[in-house]
Structure 1
Amino acid sequence: MPLTAKLLILALAAQVLLTFAILVLMGRERVPRIMSGEIPMADIAVDRTAYPLRARLLSNNFDNQFQLPVLFYIAALLALWTNGVGWVEVLLAWLFVVLRYIHAAIHTTSNSLLPRFSAYTAGMIVLAALWVWLVLRLVVLAPSI
């Protein structure tokens, strides 16, 4: 397996790790409050407003890991499936993942909207560039069969 493919798989793994880390942190905020009776189950059956702010931020960020990252997973898997993994894909993939970590760190701590929005938008632009590059490389620039 080429080094570029391995590096892309590691970027995928890093994004998955972020998702699981947020899930674990969210569980550490939520479960003790429910188990102790501090928050009755009926209060969280429909919405999250009964949780304290930190638990809601983690929950919102966990939900966010199933938005743009889904398009990232598809792009990365497409590149791997077509043996179309070059250094451009690797660079864009890792840049996207780093921006997701930055976004998550801001979202789950200060939740400062301008830096959070900037990180999200930068990640979206990088992901769009990855998709444009993949389409160009695999459809337009690919040798015909």
Structure 2
Amino acid sequence: MPSILLAAAALAGLTLFVYFLLTVVGIIANAKGDLSAEYSLTKTGTPPPAYIGNIGRNFVNLTEMPVLFYALVALHLAGNVEVSGLQLMLAWAYVALRYLHTLIHITVNTMGLRFLVHRISAIILVVMWVNFALAL
């Protein structure tokens, strides 16, 4: 299995972990009465506690920009485009930053730090796309 595919699998694993974390935390919050059925159904009424909202927003983040990463990995593999050492290093850096972003988002949620990590990961993704285009 090509190493860039392992990076994609690691990112998919993070996304699935956050999804299941959101599910478990949501079930517990619902049982404790911290999550209103009204809000869950209509998005009106008392919003969920911040810790649930942060996990939910992080899950959404993991289904947005990373789509471009998965597409890039798929194009590398489908097009049999060589993955350079630099591209592989950037892929793992991207995945590591997404893990860091998730850790920040669902724990301390420091906006400035979270923003910085997210933007650096986005820049890495742009560089990866440029490298891919140049390799064609």
Mark yes or no: TM-score above 0.5: yes
Show the 5 A alignment for 1:1-145: 6-35=2-31, 37-47=33-43, 50-84=47-81, 85-138=83-136
Report the CA distance between 1:32 and its aligned residue: 2.4
Question: How many residue pairs align between the two structures?
Answer: 134
* TM-superposition CA deviations, 1:46-72 (whole Å, max 9, x none): 338521111100000000001110000
| Displacement after TM superposition at 1:35 (Å) | 4.4
Q: What is residue 141 of structure 1 aligned with on the other side?
A: none
State the superposition RMSD in angstroms. Answer: 1.7
TM-score by length of 2: 0.90
TM-score, structure 1 normalization: 0.85
Gap change, CA 1:105 and 1:42, over 3 Å in 2? same
1:38-91: CA deviation from partner (whole Å, max 9, x where unpaired): 533222213385211111000000000011100000011111112222222211
Which of 1 and 2 has greater Rg?
1
Match of 1:143 in 2: none
Q: 1:30, 1:51 within 8 Å by CA — same for their partners in 2?
A: no
- Percentage of matched positions with identical amino acids: 31
